[in-house]
Amino acid sequence: MQITDPTPHTTEASRATARRQQILAAAAQCFREHGFHGASIARISKIAGMSAGHIYHYFENKEAIIAAIVAQDLETLLTLTAELRAACNVRHALIERAAEGVLDQLDPDSAALKVEIVAEAARNSHVAQIVREADATCRRELMVTIRAIRSAAGHDDTPEATADMVEVLAALFEGLLLRTIRNPELDRKHVAQRIQLAINDLLDQPG
Amino acid sequence: MQITDPTPHTTEASRATARRQQILAAAAQCFREHGFHGASIARISKIAGMSAGHIYHYFENKEAIIAAIVAQDLETLLTLTAELRAACNVRHALIERAAEGVLDQLDPDSAALKVEIVAEAARNSHVAQIVREADATCRRELMVTIRAIRSAAGHDDTPEATADMVEVLAALFEGLLLRTIRNPELDRKHVAQRIQLAINDLLDQPG
DNA sequence: TAACATAGAATGAGCGTTCGATCTAGAATA
DNA sequence: TATTCTAGATCGAACGCTCATTCTATGTTA
């Protein structure tokens, strides 16, 4: 299966961007199916519908493609937490959104790539840096959100306590990535409900 | 049909087992540092202190080494849940053990390998099968344990509800593997305490 | 001596990457 | 308008290297 570009490119710039995106889409598919090291430039180029050599017109090397994929994946996470923070009744918004977020995390295809990214971060310092910076931003956002919810409920937590709660919340969510791979038959809807309950309890934990 | 002696000389047998273990230890280190596909037989053999070709005296191919590493890693998980199940006051045992288990999960070195295994399971059906069988066993054990705790507290849950709770518990634990990679600076002791509280709440959720 | 342990070279495939040759579309020019 | 020029897009062959695996020869030991 080959990824073709359906949009005609009026300018040179858009053509180049489209081509880049085409490569990234092909690479994401390959990385999902074979991992960062198992996916070859030859395979990526075949799916992207261009020669292997031509890939190097748009990316310096394979590492740069990996970095771009990682950055792209993390960007969606960043917008999600930012969006969450913007909601007016934050507690309600958080718990409502949670069910949706849980189902997203439980999609096996996207989970595979996300897990691959963390695995790569454990051994590739460049990827680790990108991942950790994005994570730090997310945590900061979540800390503000959770602090707002908690102080509305009369809790005056230390920053450390808030950070710990964020970690538990994050573990809960990210753990789903592993669960959907280890147990693809799990009941997605009911697990989402249980997670909502657990988040609710977490927000009421003593300081 | 000729029957050969099933028990060869102990020295030969132990020597072979030791050599096998030597290879597995070297492979585990390489897989942690470079991933399953990034680690070469040459590198593994160098760390194991033998020639590359000699590895094939003990393992059919690289895939067999991966399978052995995966099976070995999952075995420790199986004994842990079995051990948990054997405790008399299960609720107390579960929560006590939890803190210890959390700290184990937060060890970055072992986390890297565990995450690598799940990432490989997402694309290698042989590894997936091993992982999913072990996971099913763990879930079955945990379901019995949780059901015992819940019914002692007066809850009569459906098997489905219990399975969902197990999923949340598992997600919480396994999520820590990703957290310790994404945020190595997290406060391990305090996060462990928060997790204990969360598990406590989970066990009191409505049916 | 017989059987096993081990080394290390050989093999062929595939890797990431480079590079020079072609193609193509639009600007410049006549 | 017709022709030439040009710069980027694109290809595909080639390179040097490493990979997993096999094979052969040599120790080693009982």
Give the C-alpha separation, B174 to A177, whole Å.
9
Comparing every residue's Cα with the C1' atom of nucleotide D12, the nearest one is A51
Give the count of beta carbons closer than 10 Å to the beta carbon of residue A123: 19
Domain coordinates of chain B in residue numbers?
1-59, 62-204
Lowest mean pLDDT among A46-50, A105-109, B1-5, B201-205: B1-5
3-state SS, one letter per residue, for chain A: CCCCCCCCCCCHHHHHHHHHHHHHHHHHHHHHHHHHHHCCHHHHHHHHCCCCHHHHHCCCCHHHHHHHHHHHHHHHHHHHHHHHHHCCCHHHHHHHHHHHHHHHHCCHHHHHHHHHHHHHHCCCHHHHHHHHHHHHHHHHHHHHHHHHHHHHCCCCCCHHHHHHHHHHHHHHHHHHHHHHHHCCCCCHHHHHHHHHHHHHHHHCCCC
Spatial neighbors of B119 by CB under 8 A, at least 6 apart, are A35, A112, A115, A116, A119
Report residue B84's pLDDT band, with 50, 70 and 90 as the boundaries. confident
Distance between A72 CA and the closest CA of chain B, angstroms = 16
Q: Which CATH number fits domain B62-204: 3.40.50.1000, 3.30.450.40, 3.30.420.60, 1.10.357.10?
A: 1.10.357.10
Tell me which chain A residues have a C-beta less than 8 angstroms from the C-beta of B123: 32-35, 38, 112
3-state SS, one letter per residue, for chain B: CCCCCCCCCHHHHHHHHHHHHHHHHHHHHHHHHHHHHHCCHHHHHHHHCCCCHHHHHCCCCHHHHHHHHHHHHHHHHHHHHHHHHHCCCHHHHHHHHHHHHHHHHCCHHHHHHHHHHHHHHCCCHHHHHHHHHHHHHHHHHHHHHHHHHHHHCCCCCCHHHHHHHHHHHHHHHHHHHHHHHHCCCCCHHHHHHHHHHHHHHHHCCCC
Tell me which chain B residues have a C-beta less than 8 angstroms from the C-beta of A132: 182-184
Q: Give the closest residue to A35 by CA, choosing from B152, B10, B66.
A: B66
Report residue B2's pLDDT band, with 50, 70 and 90 as the boundaries. very low
Report residue A80's pLDDT band, with 50, 70 and 90 as the boundaries. confident
Comparing B9 with B196, which gets the higher pLDDT? Answer: B196
Q: What pLDDT does residue A86 have?
A: 83
Q: Is the CB of B63 under 7 A from strand D?
A: yes
Q: What are the structure tokens assigned to B78, written together?
A: 């199986």
Comparing B81 with A204, which gets the higher pLDDT? Answer: A204
Residue in A with minimal Cα distance to B183 = A132
Q: What pLDDT does residue B6 have?
A: 33
Give the C-alpha separation, A10 to B5, whole Å.
79
Give the count of beta carbons closer than 10 Å to the beta carbon of residue A10: 8
Q: Is the pLDDT of residue B12 over 60?
A: no
A37 contacts B118? CB cut-off 8 A:
no
Cα angle B183, B115, A170 (rounded to 5 degrees) comes to 40
In contact, A3 and A47? CB cutoff 8 Å = yes
CA of B39 to C1' of C10 (A): 22
The 10s digit of each residue's pLDDT in A81-118 is: 888 888 878 899 889 998 999 999 999 999 999 999 99
For A47, B40, B164, the CA distances from A39, given in Å and listed in that order, are: 11, 16, 35
For A163, A174, B24, B185, B196, the CA distances from B190, given in Å and listed in that order, are: 10, 19, 34, 12, 10
Q: Is the pLDDT of residue A163 over 80?
A: yes
Cα B201 off chain centre by = 25
* Nucleotides of strand C under 7 angstroms from a protein beta carbon: 4-10, 14-20
Average pLDDT over residues A13-17: 75
Give the C-alpha separation, B151 to B139, whole Å.
18
Distance between B12 CA and the closest CA of chain A, angstroms = 37
In contact, A30 and B121? CB cutoff 8 Å = no
Residue range A1-59 forms a domain whose CATH class is mainly alpha
Interface of B with A in 158-177 (CB under 8 A): 160-161, 163-165, 167-168, 170-177
Q: What pLDDT does residue B11 have?
A: 59
Q: Is the pLDDT of residue B3 over 50?
A: no
Query: What is the four-CA torsion angle of A115, A117, A123, A125, rounded to 10 degrees?
Result: -150
CA of B177 to C1' of D2 (A): 69
Q: What pLDDT does residue B10 have?
A: 46
Residue listed under structure tokens 């999609």:
A107
Q: What pLDDT does residue B89 have?
A: 85
Tell me which chain B residues have a C-beta less than 8 angstroms from the C-beta of A98: none
Average pLDDT over residues B128-143: 97
Q: What pLDDT does residue A207 have?
A: 85
A168 contacts B194? CB cut-off 8 A:
yes
Q: What are the structure tokens assigned to A108, written together?
A: 């096996």
Q: What pLDDT does residue B7 have?
A: 35
B186 contacts A123? CB cut-off 8 A:
no
